[in-house]
A and B are shown apart, each in its own frame.
Chain A
Amino acid sequence: MTDITPGAVDFVPPAEVKEMELYHPKSWVTKYVFSQDAKVIAIQYSFTAIAIGLVGLVLSWVMRLQLGFPDTFSFIDPSDYYQFITMHGMIMVIYLLTALFLGGFGNYLIPLMVGARDMVFPYVNMLSYWIYLLAVLVLVASTFVPGGPTGAGWTLYPPQAILAGTPGQEWGIILMLSSLALFIVGFTMGGLNYVVTVLQARTRGMTLMRMPLSIWGIFMATVLALLAFPALFVGAIMMLLDRIIGTSFFMPSIVEFGEQLQYEGGSPILFQHLFWFFGHPEVYIVALPAFGIVSDMISCHARKNIFGYRMMVWALVAIGALSFVVWAHHMYVSGMNPYFGFFFATTTLIIAIPTAIKVYNWILTLWRGDIHLTLPMLFSLAFIVTFVNGGITGLFLGNAVVDVPLSDTMFVVAHFHMVMGVAPIFVVFAAIYHWYPLITGRMLNETMGKIHFWISFLGAYAIYFPMHYLGFLGVPRRYFELGDTAIYPQSAATLNAFITVVALIVGAAQIVFLFNLVWSYLRGKHAERNPWRATSLEWQTSQMPPGHGNFGKELPVVYRWAYDYSVPGVAEDYIPQNLPPDQVKYYDQEAPGAQGAGA
């Protein structure tokens, strides 16, 4: 190997690390409630996101009950059903996944993994969480206002979103849009922190290309979010004005219940463009952190360096850039110019290239690796399979001609649940099983974890595979019930009932997971230091769980990338990023320099 320079270990730069000013809390309240410590903020974000996510889960149960057993449950009427689908979609995509990946994992992992004491603007970071909480509360409040929450569908398309007849037209839609605007303000505060911390506050030796891919994923997703959320913000403000003071940004001249409204000349399509200019990057805002985290899981639990690290980074950057030029593939049936559709179909299919590179690299990392079937690894494998499945149906839907007949059918529902529902959630689970010992000092129970994994994994397929078939039959999404429609065979109803039963079981399996979180916190096995024998910095802190300021007296100095697993000739099968080259133990102690530090 030509790249190994004998004697490279001779030169060890002096360990001068710039310190940052750290805010020291003085009371219990500033330590745990109005905390400026990114780790506490991360946990606050995660708890809030998971709590509202549980609401989303329960909503999906109720929807499935209605779809599987129509005419059975008197407490669900069509208006409720629309409110449930709207809130379920919004909660899961924005208030759960975006908040959990960026606010939760971003806050916890960025400072620890890049070797910083905290985020660069801790106060702004704290504000970010409290505004997020406010946004969630406003969202929840919409349940209690006259007319209930909005039932416009998670895409909130005007004109129907603000016309009478759509549930929540009075107050629900106003609170929904306000909540989104608040979320975006809060997120921007957090997002600036994540980006600037990654760029400016890394420890000595931590170059951008030595960062773990988790950080790359979170970083790129944050950049996307900062540039995409303004579109939703503009759309939300404009629709609020249409609803409240009667402007006509999105509202065409329209008759409501036989009465001509004062709106005239607005463009509903404009909202669709704004929404999807945000909405498509949003898919990658959720997916890129998942890509990054899963890369680290696979590398660590297969004890092998990640295959094609540079290519992985390039793919993240490329996917991020491309995600801004594909938005109109969500609008093939909006009556757009066919050439326009052709352009967006092409860009959409091009995204498959960097994405496929990532999938191949994960598989090549596993190839002949020392695969440990730990829970993080199991969930990561499940992610790869699920993401490939969901991605391939995406290729179908990305083609305008194939999309037109499949549009607004259950096929689409199955597709996006696979690719951006189930797949990222599997990564969330993988990440929680992986980092729980770091956060709490205890291991999660393995048996409960296996039960949780197998039911969730097999259940997800039992739910969504048949749903693709329902889509082919032409079963539409968003319908309260199919009724006596002759075009659907009886088997469609049977299949719907089957899906509902499985969905209830999979939902119940999540209770096992929640119980595991609590039980293991109280009774779980104490974790040893660095239980997964990982290389990255978050495991090399002076205490576990990491204390205030993350690292001990001195910040770590980084000497290598995060993927030195199973380095030939080295005694241990991993080399921590901050282990000086002269302390690496080799089998052949006589020639320590010959193997090179980062080979």
Chain B
Amino acid sequence: MSFFRHLTEKPWVTAQARVDDLQDGVAFPLPGAKLALRIFLAAVTVLFMLLIIAYGERMVHEDWRPAPPLRLLWLNTAMLVLSSAALQWAKVAVGRAESLPLARRQEMQHVKWGLTAAGVFGSAFLAGQIVAWWQLDSMLFFDITNPAIAFFYLITGLHALHMLGGLVAWGRTAAGMENADLSRLRLSIELCTVYWHFLLAVWLVLFVLLFSGNDNLATLLAICGIR
């Protein structure tokens, strides 16, 4: 649907009425849940974008003390990538299971494995984040008034909360897998996959800009002429 094309319609014109009478009242060829998820993700994008801007704004000041980069975060990132990949695998498999009835049994096995792996890696990511928080907390120069450290807890905490919410949805999908009908299961897995990929993308941006040393963000700020 082209939103802007719709905005130029003249609903009072009879010729337009002939077109409009055929409209089935659906703006996007998507299930409502998928559209809702996308809109929700737009709001979440704003949330994390504002946090990154706030972080950059604070970093511009002279008294900025970077937080020590944690090596563990590389491992956590890998966990999240694997989790996302596993879910993608489950998504492809459930699509095949629906379209190829003969391969259904085998594909459903793949779905099962993919979902399980996604959950395991996802939980591993969360556990890894908790360990990272604990590592930072036990360091000698831990100081909660240091904005870099406070931002680290705030932003990773909010990201982890979103991940936790995703795991709840994942749990419901996995638990209902045996009894759900295939198209419903496919929708659930697709929704989870989109959400997982989104959280992965957010995490990669956060990791690259903020939590792998501040050099990348510093460069970005320099390019913008802010720092």
What residues of chain A have their CB less than 8 Å away from a CB belonging to chain B? Answer: 3-5, 8, 11-13, 18, 114-115, 120-121, 188, 192-193, 195-196, 199-210, 226-227, 229-231, 233-234, 237-238, 241, 245-249, 262-267, 270, 273-274, 277, 305, 309-310, 313-314, 317, 559-561, 563, 596-599
Contacts and interface: CB of A to CB of B under 8 A. Distances in A.
Interface string B203-215: 0000000000000
A310 B14 contact: no
A76 to B, nearest CB: 38
Contact of A199 (B8, B28, B40, B51): B28
A509 to B, nearest CB: 39
B35 interface: yes
Interface in B49-72: 50-51, 54, 57-58, 61, 63
B22 A13 contact: yes
B145 A247 contact: yes
Contacts of A248: 145-147, 150
Contacts of B21: 11-13, 205, 559
A519 B212 CA distance: 66
Contacts of A270: 54, 57-58
Interface string B22-42: 111111101011011001101
Contacts of A13: 21-22
A21 to B, nearest CB: 11
B23 A207 contact: yes
A188 B146 CA distance: 32
Given A3-B15, A196-B35, A267 B23 contact: no
B178 interface: no
Given A205-B23, A597-B17, A313 B43 contact: no
Contacts of A561: 11-12
Given A18-B24, A230-B47, A267 B15 contact: no
B6 A209 contact: yes
Q: Determine which residue in B10, B13, B25, B63 has the highest number of CB atoms from chain A within 10 A of its CB, and name it.
A: B25
B7 interface: yes
24 contacts: A3-B10, A18-B25, A120-B36, A188-B40, A200-B25, A200-B26, A200-B32, A202-B23, A204-B23, A205-B25, A206-B23, A207-B6, A226-B43, A230-B46, A230-B50, A237-B158, A238-B54, A241-B154, A247-B147, A248-B146, A265-B145, A270-B57, A274-B54, A598-B16
A449 to B, nearest CB: 33
Nearest to A242: B150
B8 to A, nearest CB: 7
Contact of A200 (B10, B14, B20, B28): B28
Contacts of A114: 25
Contacts of B28: 199-200
A195 B32 contact: no
B127 interface: no
A53 to B, nearest CB: 26
B25 A188 contact: no
Contact of A277 (B6, B9, B36, B50): B50
Contact of A226 (B30, B33, B39, B147): B39
Contacts of B58: 249, 267, 270
Contacts of A263: 145
Contacts of A264: 145
Contact of B147 (A5, A201, A229, A249): A249
Contacts of A200: 25-28, 30, 32, 35
A203 B16 CA distance: 17
Contact of A309 (B11, B32, B61, B154): B11
B11 A196 contact: no
Nearest to A124: B36
A264 B147 CA distance: 9
Contacts of A3: 10, 12-15
A273 B12 CA distance: 43
Place the interface of chain B in its size category: 35 or more
A207 B12 CA distance: 12
B32 A201 contact: yes
Interface in B153-179: 153-154, 158
A209 B61 CA distance: 49
B18 interface: yes
Given A248-B150, A309-B12, A310-B8, A204 B25 contact: yes
A12 B21 CA distance: 8
A13 B16 CA distance: 14
B130 interface: no
The 6 closest A-B pairs by CB, nearest first: A202-B25, A247-B150, A230-B47, A561-B11, A596-B14, A199-B27
A102 to B, nearest CB: 15
Q: Determine which residue in A230, A317, A561 has the highest number of CB atoms from chain B within 10 A of its CB, and name it.
A: A230
Contacts of A273: 57
B147 A4 contact: no
Given A206-B25, A267-B58, A8 B43 contact: no
Given A18-B24, A204-B25, A317-B7, A598 B14 contact: yes
A299 to B, nearest CB: 12
A193 B11 CA distance: 26
Nearest to A3: B13
B4 to A, nearest CB: 9
A265 B27 contact: no
Contacts of B8: 310
A376 B51 CA distance: 44
Contacts of A199: 26-28, 35
A11 B58 CA distance: 64
B222 interface: no
A265 B12 contact: no
Nearest to A317: B7
A22 B24 CA distance: 19
B186 to A, nearest CB: 18
A313 B146 CA distance: 48
B131 interface: no
Contacts of B75: none
A265 B61 contact: yes
Nearest to B65: A265
Given A207-B6, A231-B50, A267-B58, A8 B32 contact: no
A105 B144 CA distance: 45
Given A8-B14, A121-B32, A561-B11, 17 more contacts: A3-B12, A3-B14, A11-B21, A188-B40, A199-B27, A200-B25, A207-B20, A234-B54, A247-B145, A248-B146, A265-B61, A267-B61, A273-B57, A309-B11, A310-B7, A310-B8, A560-B12
A559 B43 contact: no
A274 B52 CA distance: 12
Contacts of A18: 24-25
Q: Determine which residue in A234, A237, A246 has the highest number of CB atoms from chain B within 10 A of its CB, and name it.
A: A234
Contacts of B20: 205, 207, 209-210
B15 A234 contact: no
A188 B147 CA distance: 29
A229 B42 CA distance: 12
B150 A241 contact: yes
A156 to B, nearest CB: 16
B50 A246 contact: no
